[in-house]
């Protein structure tokens, strides 16, 4: 990892750049894949599985036998780990249930919102280099809690031309039956437009590589909802003299091992940590199975030495990392100053891996600078909030003038008349009541 000592602010934009890819070339490739799926459906999925996943599929559907064997093939330890993670994810996401506020904005004018589940959702579970069982929990648990009626799942087939049994085990426990063997951009297209086997959905969720992320962005232009651009993983660590170099190295490696396009950043206020972390990284890489991938990811990654924690947080906010770990004396205070990040991990005992798997927060998070404007997946992501209003006659009289004035200013006469026609009617009714001696307000 290249080291930058006290970089001047003008250099920050260049130093904080994400790994670049030729977006136009990528877009053209993905458009082609999407078009193939639109015209040839399942056949394209089977062809791409042969080409990219190196497996021969008869069908993209999971067989009865695969479903039946899934749970038995898992160890008890893995099942227990899944239960712990699921329980915490459920607790945290259940607490996100939107509150329905019933507000009287003016006398007689009532406004409220109601959250309803999105009826049909598609979950993409990455599986190119690792079967992300945890991503399935992160998406399927809130989708179920939200009450989505139809949950469609796509994940690349593994070497056995099947789906990881843990995914099937979790699916069964949540009552999800529509799991398909399809990966990459073609899976996104299948869930957006439908194929013979895969139903189309209203909104697609899930992280993935650049092909998946580009496909989500392209189908979103065609009216299909997407959660967020959740691409190659990132972590930034802010550390001072109190931090443990071995812990820092482990956390940096945990994201670098995801893929060669991952990016990890280390911001230090203590110069002596630079060599300590570098040594720890080298030592841990010796026994890391995915060391080759991590080393390549380090080519995109950087170490910054800054003067104090205020500068550290400013630099991190200017980068907007997917994950931010803060291990400084004033970690909680610094965490208060975070304005751009997907998820924050405070103190030495909070590894980023905890959020990846089992603390309860969602790990589907914005990358590539999207944390400037996007949040990670939550329970609300699986819901739409519909606004309602009800106005009484007196309520319309109270706000009618404002509506008419604004409509007139916009030159939209029909809008103005939609109010005048009612106010005229109210006036006539009032006049009639007065004549009859009742004089009630309406």
Ligand X SMILES: NC(=O)c1ccc[n+]([C@@H]2O[C@H](COP(=O)([O-])OP(=O)(O)OC[C@H]3O[C@@H](n4cnc5c(N)ncnc54)[C@H](O)[C@@H]3O)[C@@H](O)[C@H]2O)c1
Ligand Y SMILES: N[C@H](CO)Cc1c[nH]c[nH+]1
Q: Closest by alpha carbon to 66, among 212, 167, 150, 205? A: 167
Q: How far is the CB of 307 from Zn ion (least distance, A)?
A: 31
Closer to ligand X by Cβ: residue 240 or 322: 322
**332 has catalytic annotation:** no
Window 364-423: residues binding ligand X (CB under 6 A): 364-365, 367
Please report whether residue 293 would count as binding ligand Y according to CB under 6 A.
no
Closer to ligand Y by Cβ: residue 34 or 235: 235
Q: Closest by alpha carbon to 137, among 213, 205, 73? A: 205
**Residue 175, CA distances (Å) to 11, 34, 52, 61, 148 in order:** 52, 29, 30, 16, 12
Please report whether residue 155 would count as binding ligand Y according to CB under 6 A.
no
Closer to ligand X by Cβ: residue 240 or 257: 257
Q: Which of 52, 67, 193, 374 binds ligand X (CB under 6 A)?
A: 52
Please report whether residue 216 would count as binding ligand X according to CB under 6 A.
no
Question: Three-state SS across 207-258?
Answer: CCCHHHHHHHHHHHCCCCEECCCCCCCEEEEEECCCCCHHHHHHHHHHHHCC
- Is residue 283 left, alpha or beta, with left meaning phi > 0 and alpha meaning psi from -120 to 50? alpha
**Residue 223, CA distances (Å) to 16, 129, 266 in order:** 33, 30, 39
Please report whether residue 227 would count as binding ligand Y according to CB under 6 A.
no
- The 10 Å Cβ neighbour count of residue 140 is 27
Q: Which of 134, 213, 301, 361 binds ligand Y (CB under 6 A)?
A: 134
Closer to ligand X by Cβ: residue 254 or 262: 262
Annotated binding site for substrate: 233, 255, 258, 323, 356, 410, 415
Record the tokens describing residue 370, joined without a space. Answer: 């999207």
Q: How far is the CB of 374 from ligand X (least distance, A)?
A: 11
Q: How far is the CB of 33 from Zn ion (least distance, A)?
A: 26
Q: Are 238 and 312 in contact (CB under 8 A)?
A: yes
Please report whether residue 202 would count as binding ligand X according to CB under 6 A.
no
Closer to ligand Y by Cβ: residue 139 or 396: 139
Residue 316 binding: pick among Zn ion, ligand X, ligand Y, none (C-beta 5-8 Å cut-off by kind): none
Residue with tokens 């002596």: 272
Q: Closest by alpha carbon to 176, among 215, 120, 129? A: 120
Q: Closest by alpha carbon to 278, among 256, 303, 299, 296? A: 303
* Choice among 66, 257, 322, 352 that is catalytic: 322
Q: Are 328 and 297 in contact (CB under 8 A)?
A: no
Using Cβ positions, the residue closest to Zn ion within the complex turns out to be: 356
**241 has catalytic annotation:** no
Q: How far is the CB of 7 from ligand Y (least distance, A)?
A: 26
Interior CA angle at 362 toward 260 and 230, to 5°?
40
Q: How far is the CB of 84 from Zn ion (least distance, A)?
A: 17
* Choice among 93, 164, 169, 323 that is catalytic: 323
Annotated binding site: 124, 186, 209, 233, 255, 258, 323, 356, 410, 415
Q: Specify the stretch interacting with ligand Y by CB under 6 A; choose among 7-15, 128-136, 243-251, 403-411.
A: 128-136
Record the tokens describing residue 136, joined without a space. Answer: 């399935």
Q: Which of 144, 162, 322, 324 binds ligand Y (CB under 6 A)?
A: 322
Q: How far is the CB of 269 from ligand X (least distance, A)?
A: 28
Record the tokens describing residue 86, joined without a space. Answer: 């699921």
Q: Are 313 and 333 in contact (CB under 8 A)?
A: no
- Is residue 410 left, alpha or beta, with left meaning phi > 0 and alpha meaning psi from -120 to 50? alpha
Please report whether residue 233 would count as binding ligand Y according to CB under 6 A.
yes
Q: Which of 132, 145, 218, 327 binds ligand Y (CB under 6 A)?
A: 132
Closer to ligand Y by Cβ: residue 180 or 357: 357
Record the tokens describing residue 300, joined without a space. Answer: 């995109």
Task: Name the residues annotated as catalytic.
Answer: 322-323
Binding site for ligand Y (CB under 6 A): 132, 134-135, 233, 255, 322, 356, 363
Binding site for ligand X (CB under 6 A): 48, 52-53, 126-129, 132, 135, 156, 183-185, 207-209, 211-212, 230-233, 258-259, 262, 322, 363-365, 367
């Amino acid at each position: 990892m290249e080291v930058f000592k006290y970089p001047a602010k003008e250099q920050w934009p260049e130093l904080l750049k994400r790994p670049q890819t030729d977006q136009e070339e990528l877009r053209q490739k993905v458009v082609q894949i999407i078009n193939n799926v639109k015209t040839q459906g399942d056949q394209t999925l089977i062809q791409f599985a042969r080409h990219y996943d190196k497996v021969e599929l008869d069908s993209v559907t999971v067989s009865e036998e695969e479903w039946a064997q899934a749970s038995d093939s898992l160890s008890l330890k893995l099942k227990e780990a899944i239960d712990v993670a699921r329980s915490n994810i459920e607790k945290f996401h259940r607490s996100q249930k939107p509150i329905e506020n019933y507000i009287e904005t003016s006398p007689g004018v009532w406004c409220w919102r109601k959250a309803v589940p999105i009826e049909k959702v598609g979950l993409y579970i990455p599986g190119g280099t690792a079967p992300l069982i945890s991503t399935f929990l992160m998406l399927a648990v809130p989708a179920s809690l939200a009450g989505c009626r139809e949950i469609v799942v796509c994940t690349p087939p593994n070497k056995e031309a099947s789906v990881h049994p843990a995914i099937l085990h979790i699916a069964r426990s949540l009552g999800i039956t529509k799991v398909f063997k399809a990966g990459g951009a073609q899976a996104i297209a299948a869930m957006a437009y439908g194929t013979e086997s895969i139903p189309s959905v209203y909104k697609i969720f899930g992280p993935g590589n650049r092909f998946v992320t580009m496909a989500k962005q392209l189908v979103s232009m065609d009216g299909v909802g997407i959660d967020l651009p959740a691409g190659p993983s990132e972590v930034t660590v802010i550390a001072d003299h109190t931090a443990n170099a071995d812990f820092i190295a482990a956390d940096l490696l945990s994201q670098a091992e995801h893929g060669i396009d991952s990016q990890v950043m280390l911001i230090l206020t203590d110069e002596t940590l630079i060599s300590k972390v570098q040594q720890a990284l080298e030592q841990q890489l010796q026994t890391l199975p995915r060391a080759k991938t991590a080393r390549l990811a380090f080519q995109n990654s950087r170490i910054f030495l800054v003067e104090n924690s205020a500068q550290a947080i400013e630099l991190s906010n200017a980068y907007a990392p997917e994950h931010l770990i803060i291990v400084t004396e004033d970690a909680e205070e610094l965490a208060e100053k975070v304005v751009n990040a997907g998820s924050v991990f405070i103190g030495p005992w909070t590894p980023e891996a905890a959020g990846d798997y089992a603390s309860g927060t969602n790990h589907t998070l914005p990358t590539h600078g999207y944390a400037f404007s996007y949040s990670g997946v939550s329970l609300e992501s699986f819901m739409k909030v519909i606004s309602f209003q009800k106005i009484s006659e007196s309520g319309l009289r109270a706000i009618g003038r404002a509506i008419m004035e604004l409509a007139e200013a916009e030159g939209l006469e029909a809008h103005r008349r939609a109010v005048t026609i009612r106010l005229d009617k109210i006036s006539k009714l009032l006049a009639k009541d007065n004549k009859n001696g009742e004089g009630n307000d309406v």
